[in-house]
Amino acid sequence: MKIAIIGGGPAGLYSAILLKKQRPGAEITVYERNRADDTFGFGVVFSDATLDNFEKYDPPSYRRITREFAYWDDIAVHFRGTVHRVGGNGFCGCSRRTLLLILQERARELGVSLKFETDIEDEARFADADLVVLADGINSRFREKYIEHFQPEVDVRSNKFAWMGSTRPLDAFTFIFQETEWGPFIAHAYQYEAGRSTWIFETDPATFKRAGLEGLTEKQSADRMAQIFGWFLGGHPLLTNRSMWRNFPMIRSKRWVKDNMVLLGDAKATAHFSIGSGTKLAMEDAIALADAMHHAPTVETALQQYEEGRREEVEKTQHAADVSLVWFEHVDRFWDFDPVQFAFGVMTRAKAITYDNLTLRAPDFVAEVDKAFAKQVRAKGLDVDIAKPVAPMFQPMKLREMELANRAVVSPMCMYSANEGLPGDFHLVHYGSRAIGGAGLIFTEMTCVGRDARITPGCAGLWNDEQEAAWRRIVDFVHANSVAKIALQLGHAGRKGATKLMWDGMDRPLEEGGWDVISASPIPYFPDSQVPREMDRAAMDAVKAAFVASVERGERCGFDMLELHCAHGYLLASFISPLTNQRTDAYGGSLENRLRFPLEVFEAMRSAWPSHKPMSVRISATDWAEGGITGDDAVDIARAFAEAGVDLVDVSTGQTVRDAQPIYGRMFQTPFSDQVRNEARVATMCVGNITTADQVNTILAAGRADLVALGRPHLVDPSFTLKAAAWYGADGVFCPPQYLPGKEQIFRNSVRDRQDFDDLKIKAKPKTRAELKAEATKPLAAE
Ligand SMILES: Cc1cc2nc3c(=O)[nH]c(=O)nc-3n(C[C@H](O)[C@H](O)[C@H](O)COP(=O)(O)OP(=O)(O)OC[C@H]3O[C@@H](n4cnc5c(N)ncnc54)[C@H](O)[C@@H]3O)c2cc1C
Ligand SMILES: Cc1cc2nc3c(=O)[nH]c(=O)nc-3n(C[C@H](O)[C@H](O)[C@H](O)COP(=O)(O)O)c2cc1C
């Protein structure tokens, strides 16, 4: 077999090594345009998990790599004169040059032919090769040559960065967030060998300009950075090596394989440097390719298997990198945070590290985070314990005069079980048991303001006396048997009305017994859905009056809070999104116009609702569709509602149009809550695939939301909050007297269960290489 590899970076060299080990008889050649020791850049970093992988696939290179490594365990965050350190991270750094020399040596040893100073212009010269590996880096010539086939998507990010080095020793992965007269600068720095550290500087484009970095030489910009970070560098110089300021390109390619050619490493996909995974991805691509080549009968099937098997992992890493880079791009959102909360945000930005995980590794740090959180609650006038605070999930919150016992919320969820809008016994048991289960706030399902405002024939409503009495019974039960507050979500289905029950076909039009539907514009949801009637002013007045009438009924029922549903493509959402609003009058066109009717309804409701009771609005913060609402629009929408008197923005997303492309994942809507909260400066509730109390605490402690709603988890577990309280020892959680023996038991057992669980986790976690090294070098006297 003949294999040609274009590019002698980590991806090209490591794939050559692994393929040659597998096929000693194969003729494998690596073509590299630079000289053998001509590599640019400073250090690279790997996690312990990546090194474990290298150990498994090629022990000799692994041994040589790890001999050369600098190890560290801590991450240190410097911000506004403070430093917070968190251990147990298990990272290793190595010079890129050393890494490549080791890989070259190993490749040569195995019989790979390495051809340096050979720039490949055209792959046609490899017509006789069975496999051509395109590992030619971020600016891949061959990805561009076959752009139509590979379909790369290159998203050039806004921040500027430059990669430099220093002799400054570091004992931790160090983030420095530095205020300057021009704006914020960030340094990401780590040591990679004795006396050498990598320094990546990052800043936003406006600060870059104000700092006069545009057009400076490498030396001049290094001097400017040395001036800014001089207090930390302590006289150590900054070193440059092609250290130009650049913008990071996030690259994703739709296809990775063409005939017998395959893209590897940065050529096919990149991951932002803030998660330090570029070289890891490149080398793990090589592992995946070698695995596929080992098992598949032909090169064609191997390449297919490589792409199919590897894509998910790469996309997961890219997603984590995306979340991380967005955090750094918007660091100004958090600039006025308490430093410990800021540091917690840095640590948890990419979802892998959580509140519980940090509690295990850095209990003092988390205790400080809890204290800072409790202090903020106290500053809002609530009497909470600051010396021994409960976890953020169990901190109270006040909205106008409504006080919530904790920050866990039962999300609004249609039960499709009402008869002509009338809630029945099912609803009493459903809401009653969730209130008893400990959540601080319970939302009703979308309760419709008229018969024709319903989504389905099973939707609940509040437009007649009988419904009012039924809701009052539920509210009274909640108030009499729990400390939970109950919010009424009012809505109108708009063009998604007259559809089937969820379990008969979500959003599908009713075949019989339907009713006429209305919307901002006459656009059906599905092509075969009913075409809605475009609302005229009279219809708007009627809808507004219906909302106000339901608000008055809601007040008579005794609800504590009111939410206006402006999300998920229902009537008011259909005005807000440009995808569903094509009006040419004062209610269409600009965002200001599209918001006019929803705000009018909101204001009318606000006037009818007692001023001491809070109101929220649920919005879709993105339509997940081209030309639709984006996170930036959501900030403007939230500001407009806040000006109109909203106390809380309930941040959901999507469900506006059929062809949306949502990116699901754990806590997938939380970044929008974060953006709305910290840019519009309004309290938010986040929701969406949040399934554990650990995630709830992580979100709250990082200041990404003020309340956390859980929908599906509450469907299967009404006592989600009570159980979580037992886990965190928050014994102030409410429990009705009838259930107290159960509460006492779970609290007693939880102390032991948690201890066992933590012990198991600690035992199951292998020692990091930094810990092993520290043990090996510990002087005997210290034993
Ligand atoms: C600022 C910054 C910091 C980073 N920090 C880290 C980090 O801490 N940890 C980490 O793991 N990664 C880091 N990376 C990413 C890392 O450098 C890359 O992701 C990694 O090197 C990708 O490996 P590769 O083999 O795909 O590509 P490369 O390393 O770019 O190798 C491609 C090779 O192909 C050669 N080549 C290109 N075209 C041709 C041609 N036509 N003919 C012959 N040869 C050709 C090039 O000369 C090059 O040597 C960082 C990147 C940046 C920009
Ligand atoms: C069965 C069901 C019914 C729902 N009904 C409503 C509703 O009436 N109003 C609303 O705003 N959201 C509704 N949603 C959305 C949820 O409130 C929540 O935003 C969504 O389920 C994501 O949260 P989760 O991942 O915690 O379930 C519903 C979700 C489900 C699963």
Model confidence pLDDT, tens digit, residues 244-288: 999 999 999 999 999 999 999 999 999 988 887 889 999 999 999
- Separation of CA 580 and ligand 2 centre (Å): 21
In 118-188, alpha helices (H): 141-145, 147-150
What share of the chain has pLDDT > 90, as a percent?
86
* CA–CA distance, 191 with 198 (Å, rounded to integer): 6
**Pocket probe mutation, ligand 1, options 44, 242, 247, max atoms within 8 Å of Cβ:** 44
What phi and psi, each to the nearest 5 degrees, are found at residue 485? -100, 155
**Pocket probe mutation, ligand 1, options 136, 143, 146, max atoms within 8 Å of Cβ:** 136
Per-residue pLDDT reduced to its tens digit, 59-90: 999 999 888 778 878 899 999 999 999 987 77
Which residue's structure tokens are 């893209």? 263
Q: Which ligand number lies closest to the CA of residue 143? A: 1
In this prediction, residue 106 has a pLDDT band, given cuts at 50, 70 and 90, of very high
Residue from 369, 367, 366, 358 nearest 88 by CA: 358
Per-residue pLDDT reduced to its tens digit, 204-252: 999 999 999 999 999 999 999 999 999 999 999 999 988 999 999 999 9
| Ligand 2 touching residue 573 (CB < 6 A) | no
Residue from 490, 616, 469 nearest 549 by CA: 490
| Ligand 2 touching residue 445 (CB < 6 A) | yes
User: How many CB atoms sit inside 10 A of residue 87's CB?
Assistant: 16
- Separation of CA 283 and ligand 1 centre (Å): 11
Contacts of 251 (CB under 8 A, 6+ apart): 138, 152, 153, 154, 155, 266, 268, 269, 270
- Separation of CA 103 and ligand 1 centre (Å): 14
Q: Averaged over 678-690, what is the pLDDT?
A: 97
Residue 477 is encoded by which pair of tokens? 């039960």
- Separation of CA 137 and ligand 1 centre (Å): 5
Q: What is the pLDDT, as a whole number, of residue 774?
A: 66
- Separation of CA 75 and ligand 1 centre (Å): 25
Q: Averaged over 342-371, what is the pLDDT?
A: 93
Which residue's structure tokens are 């910009």? 221
* DSSP assigned state of 624: S
* CA–CA distance, 559 with 551 (Å, rounded to integer): 10
Lowest-confidence segment of 320-329, 371-380, 607-616 by average pLDDT? 320-329
Q: What is the pLDDT, as a whole number, of residue 775?
A: 64
**Pocket probe mutation, ligand 2, options 413, 449, 686, max atoms within 8 Å of Cβ:** 413
**Spatial contact of 31 and 120, defined as CB atoms under 8 Å apart:** yes
pLDDT tops 90 at residue 679: yes
Is residue 592 packed enough to be buried (19+ CB in 10 Å), middle (13-18) or exposed (0-12)?
Answer: exposed
Is residue 389 packed enough to be buried (19+ CB in 10 Å), middle (13-18) or exposed (0-12)?
Answer: buried
Pocket of ligand 1 (CB under 6 A): 6-12, 31-34, 44-45, 119-120, 135-138, 141, 161, 163, 200, 265-267, 273, 276-280, 282
Residue 90 is encoded by which pair of tokens? 């298990």
- Separation of CA 113 and ligand 2 centre (Å): 59
Which residue's structure tokens are 């295990």? 360
* CA–CA distance, 370 with 701 (Å, rounded to integer): 7
**Spatial contact of 172 and 75, defined as CB atoms under 8 Å apart:** yes
Decide if 416 is catalytic. no
Atom number, ligand 1, closest to the C-alpha of residue 46:
11
pTM: 0.90
In this prediction, residue 783 has a pLDDT band, given cuts at 50, 70 and 90, of very low
Contacts of 4 (CB under 8 A, 6+ apart): 29, 31, 123, 126, 129, 131, 132, 133
Contacts of 347 (CB under 8 A, 6+ apart): 75, 77, 86, 353, 358
Q: What is the pLDDT, as a whole number, of residue 443?
A: 98
Catalytic residue among 570, 587, 728, 739: 570
Residue 133 is encoded by which pair of tokens? 């590996």
Residue 577 is encoded by which pair of tokens? 């999104």
**Spatial contact of 475 and 519, defined as CB atoms under 8 Å apart:** no
| Ligand 2 touching residue 652 (CB < 6 A) | yes
Residue with CA nearest ligand 2 atom 10: 412
Q: Averaged over 185-200, what is the pLDDT?
A: 92
Q: What is the pLDDT, as a whole number, of residue 194?
A: 85
pLDDT averaged over every residue in the chain: 94
Start-to-end CA span in the chain (Å):
56
Which of 331-350 are b and which e, b meaning 16 or more Cβ less than 10 Å from the residue's Cβ? bebbeebbbbbbbbbbbbbb
| Ligand 2 touching residue 670 (CB < 6 A) | no
* CA–CA distance, 388 with 121 (Å, rounded to integer): 66
Q: Averaged over 698-719, what is the pLDDT?
A: 98
